Amino acid sequence: MALKSFIEVHPDSHFPIQNLPYGVFKPQPGSSPRPGVAIGDYVLDLSEIASAALFHGPLLNNSDCFHQPNLNKFVSLGRPAWKEARATLQKLLSATEPTLRDNATLREKSLVPMSRVELLLPVQIGDYTDFFSSLHHTKNCGLIFRGPQNPVLENWYHLPVAYHGRASSVVISGTDIVRPRGQAHPTPGSPPYFGPSRKLDFELEMATIVGPGNDLGKPVDINNAADHIFGVVLMNDWSARDIQAWEYIPLGPFLGKNFGTTISPWIVTLEALEPFACEAPKQDPPPLPYLTEKVSKNYDVALEVHIKPAEHEKPSVVTRSNLKHLYWTLTQQLAHHTINGCNLRPGDLLGTGTISGPVRLNILCSLEF
């Protein structure tokens, strides 16, 4: 029998008891930030649950990780603590458990209507890296910039290509993004254009939230990489294509990218995603041993882009894709990031790159249209 919550959850909700994504919120203006999980149309205040001494497992008993203004301390504790928390919360919220269900005072304090809260960045992001992990996106971009003779460079098939982004401009979804100013390609006989970008673009990605980090000089083994991933968020890596095209040779993206990146407020854990795990695409040539996984998997997660022009009342779906289209897996991305000894830290953000799929309807940035 499927697990059911005592809280009424609409069948179309993204937040059933099987999900329980983590975020950080303020229950009202002037409140201090605190961790929570989404359940139906409510946010469960984990600071209240911790204050009521309901996290009484061996790893979270007496921990102050849910009395922090972000999730960094909790994600640093590792998978055993995450599993303990998930089991505790699913039990507390289940229809058959009276501890929270029948305690009106605790319910009033701990269950906050989502419509009332202010959602914040779930973690303090120390570093942000953006990968280029979809073969379809890579091919489409290569055809535009290099032509059909060499759309995918040789190195791409051997390693997850990435660049280091700007963590300070990662903001919560819904934050206003100011149209960036910069230089663009000159017309013949003229200096470079300077002014607001004329080619502002979206890029639908997902991004890994790093859990426990690794020591400087000690790479993460590919088959242990999942233990360093707390979960994933949705991500829009805003891009100024005209600025990017003029500046990117020889060192890659800079002002065309670092003006703003938005992420969703909720982190969906790998445990919650496990029912959606699927086989990753076959990689040819086979990856080097440090990127060869015993089990190579992606996740079957449907993705959509909605756009609402200013004069329209409702948004329209313009394109769809799926996380399963990634060529390089989340775990390969993380393991490759550390193979040179680079140290990751709790709360670091690793973007997947645009997750375009095999057909035109699966394009997840307007550059590829």
pLDDT per residue as tens digits for the range 134-186: 999 999 999 998 999 999 999 999 999 999 999 999 999 999 999 999 999 99
Do 254 and 147 meet the contact criterion of CB atoms below 8 Å apart? Answer: no
Bridge partners of residue 171, in order along the sequence = 262
Same domain (yes/no): 313, 349: yes
Same domain (yes/no): 215, 116: no
Question: What CATH number corresponds to the domain at position 226?
Answer: 3.90.850.10
Do 301 and 338 meet the contact criterion of CB atoms below 8 Å apart? Answer: no
Same domain (yes/no): 107, 247: no
Same domain (yes/no): 242, 320: yes
Reported confidence tier of residue 111, pLDDT bands at 50, 70, 90: very high
Same domain (yes/no): 141, 106: no
Same domain (yes/no): 36, 162: no
Give per-residue pLDDT as tens, 223-244: 999 999 999 999 999 999 999 9
What is the residue type of 326?
Answer: L
Binding-site members for substrate are 132, 146, 244, 248, 354
Identify the pLDDT of residue 145. 86
Q: Label residues 351-367 b or e (16+ Cβ within 10 Å = b).
A: bbbbbbbeeeebbbbbb
What tokens does 40 get?
A: 């139906």
Binding-site members for Ca(2+) are 130, 203, 205, 237
The answer to whether residue 355 is domain-embedded is yes
Give the integer Cα–Cα distance in Å for 178 and 184: 17
Question: What CATH number corresponds to the domain at position 64?
Answer: 2.30.30.230
Same domain (yes/no): 194, 100: no
Same domain (yes/no): 229, 291: yes
H or E segment and range at residue 99: helix 98-101
The answer to whether residue 5 is domain-embedded is no
What is the residue type of 100?
Answer: L
Burial of 124 (0-12, 13-18, 19+ CB in 10 A): middle
Binding-site members for Mg(2+) are 237, 257, 261
**Model confidence at 131: pLDDT above 70:** yes
What tokens does 189 get?
A: 């006989």
The answer to whether residue 10 is domain-embedded is no
The answer to whether residue 244 is domain-embedded is yes
Same domain (yes/no): 44, 145: no
* Residue 14 DSSP code: S
Identify the pLDDT of residue 2. 87
Same domain (yes/no): 255, 308: yes
The answer to whether residue 6 is domain-embedded is no
Work out how many domains the chain is built from and give that number: 2
Domain boundary among 73, 104, 120: 120
- Please name the residues in contact with 116: beta carbons below 8 A apart, sequence gap of 6 or more: 27, 28
The answer to whether residue 12 is domain-embedded is no
The answer to whether residue 309 is domain-embedded is yes
Which structural domain range is residue 169 located in? 128-368
The answer to whether residue 16 is domain-embedded is no
Domain boundary among 86, 120, 154: 120
Same domain (yes/no): 133, 116: no
Do 130 and 163 meet the contact criterion of CB atoms below 8 Å apart? Answer: yes
Helix (H, G, I), strand (E, B) or coil at 229: strand
**Model confidence at 1: pLDDT above 70:** no
Number of H-type helices and E-type strands within the chain = 9, 21
Same domain (yes/no): 174, 271: yes
Stated pTM of the model: 0.97
What is the rounded end-to-end Cα distance, in angstroms, of the chain? 45
Domain boundary among 120, 141, 171: 120
Closest CA to 121 of 242, 233, 9: 233
Give per-residue pLDDT as tens, 300-322: 999 999 999 989 999 999 999 99
Active site residues per annotation:
137
Beta strands in 211-315 (DSSP E): 229-236, 239-240, 261-263, 268-269, 277-279, 297-299, 302-307
